[in-house]
Structure 1
């Protein structure tokens, strides 16, 4: 945080010096106003590029490691986990049944079991809890 404050303070001081120098250069008649405006525009352009690069580097990649111990601890079977992954993809019960080659009632049973094991009332809440427990790699 201190480094960011120092960098921005230095930028502000540098801009103030640039403005003062351009004012004196213009008053003395050594340089035209168009050149001063162009120099200031170029300086602001490079400051914008610098700030953009700093903000792009700060993005963190979320930890998507799956915790298999937590899956076993919750008592989620392999098939229930497959259903949970399909739910996280936004598929309906019918689509999950077609994907996993099981009946729709079997999928409903697995979803019901998942809701109980994850202590959730809705599918979206189950997905959120699964992400929080690091059992879904999304």
Structure 2
């Protein structure tokens, strides 16, 4: 929630700066409005790139040849064998329908397994589930 408030605050601040800079042409009549808007646009592009690079969070999980699945973690989370199969297929990029076809289950059953995985891994999205599972070393 705090991130959302900060982002909206930055957007509002950027808009206020844009409005103030649009008044610069009143004080410097030799500059065209197009030039000012171009400079302001370039400044905001630079600001966007800077903030994008600064706030981007990427975690790389290296899987070496000696990687072993942590069975204790699987037991601790209470994951069933079927949930593990579903999680592995999610990690491979399959949709719910495709997973259902591969495991001979209905799509609603797969949705139930995915929902249970989200609760057990404490995530909200499929990509988060895969990332969390790799961090916990329960899938390769």
Alpha-carbon contact 1:64-1:136 (below 8 Å) kept: no
Cα displacement (A) at 1:61? 5.8
**CA distance in 2 between partners of 1:61 and 1:123 (Å):** 20
Cα displacement (A) at 1:129? 0.4
- Larger C-alpha radius of gyration, 1 or 2? 1
Partner of 2:114: 111
Q: 1:130 aligns with which of 128, 133, 138?
A: 133
Partner of 1:95: 98
Alpha-carbon contact 1:80-1:110 (below 8 Å) kept: yes
Cα displacement (A) at 1:65? 1.2
Runs of 4 or more, structure 1, over 2 Å off, are: 60-64
Q: TM-score, normalised by structure 1?
A: 0.54
The aligned runs of 1:27-66 (5 Å cut-off) are 62=64, 63-66=66-69
Output the aligned Cα RMSD.
1.4
**CA distance in 1 between partners of 2:67 and 2:96 (Å):** 25
Q: Structure 2 regions of 5+ residues with no counterpart? A: 1-61
Cα displacement (A) at 1:69? 0.9
Q: TM-score, normalised by structure 2?
A: 0.53
Partner of 2:84: 81
Give the length in aligned residue pairs.
78
Cα displacement (A) at 1:70? 0.5
